[in-house]
Amino acid sequence: MTQHRQGQAGVTAIDEFDEIIDVRSPAEFAEDHIPGAINCPALDNAQRERIGTIYKQVSPFEARKLGAAMVAHNLADALTSNFLDRPRTWRPLIYCWRGGQRSGSFVTWFRLIGWDACQLEGGYKRYRQHVVDELVRLSPQLDLRVICGATGSAKTRLLEALAARGAQTIDLEALAAHKGSVLGARPGIAQPSQKQFETRLLAAVRKLDPARPTFVEAESRKIGLVQIPEPLIAHMRAAPCLAIEATREARIAFLLRDYAYLGDDVEALKDKIGAMKAVQSNETLAQWKALADARDLTSLFGEFIDRHYDPLYQRSQNRNFAGFADAPRYVTEDLSPLALDALARQILLETA
């Protein structure tokens, strides 16, 4: 067990506690939080904003006085609503933004009750720095294998097939809640903040054995609105690659399955097409929007492959991934689940 001052715990001791309680506001919690933490706000969003205004416009004393009353009320509500069933031996870790008064208030009262409650030293701010530092430390230790392939080559589904066969993987697109291209937004699913993405990424990386290969999909620096941290993207770009070379017909068939939902909202699809105006002519965009209106996804996806994604892929892979030129090629005419499972089996046999 990590040694720490009474009522205080460092960021490396997080896993030693029975429960992690984030007493920041719901808005702060939604942006990012320690994995597994529950939110019991010392001040809700409106209260936090009000106290901040009083602190700046009236005085710190008046802000602390009203803030203390609000925190006391919210603490009592949290205690009666969430924690009365906890046993005497319960050990919670409590944190706020930087280990200050909000978490300190909860820790003080919980310890008076008799629980061995501890405040996270430095709060979320210190945890956030820990995430950044750990990604810097752990990323270069990974034995990466980068899966390359043009858009529609079912790289993510291959990654899932590899994981199903026991391989180590990092699914960056799942962590980012985005498929990585201009068409990659997932309907009804918001992307995480950059901070939350990196928290999720660290949680995934910490589970990996650096002595075993880890498969990851080739990605641009950005996946939708979030960026892959520099230590990882730099390591990916220097790592060995393998390339999936699927036929055009197989790729279109796959895209029709995997992106079928794009035909459900034609106006949203046309908006995505319009976002390509920096790299495509107005005439091309008009043709593509007409295909969208006709719901002719087969022709539209063929156009995307021929005139947008393949030229971009051919320009970028050799430049961005040092191991791409020497990558073993896996040629396939079938991207069905059964075929991808067979391909995953072949890759693992040849990687072992």
Active-site residue numbers? Answer: 96
Cα–Cα distance between 263 and 256 in angstroms, integer?
A: 10
The dihedrals phi and psi of 197, each to the nearest 5 degrees, come to -60, -45
Strands in 241-246's sheet, in edge-to-edge order, are 168-170, 213-217, 143-149, 241-246, 329-332
Contact call for residues 247 and 149 (beta carbons, < 8 A):
no
The dihedrals phi and psi of 151, each to the nearest 5 degrees, come to -55, 135
Cα–Cα distance between 178 and 175 in angstroms, integer?
A: 8
The residue to which tokens 């399955």 are assigned: 257
Contact call for residues 178 and 16 (beta carbons, < 8 A):
no
Cα–Cα distance between 209 and 223 in angstroms, integer?
A: 25
CB neighbour list of residue 304: distance below 8 Å, 6 or more residues apart: 151, 183, 288
CA 37, 39, 45, 50 torsion-angle sign: negative
Judged on CB neighbours under 10 Å (0-12, 13-18, 19+), 296 is middle
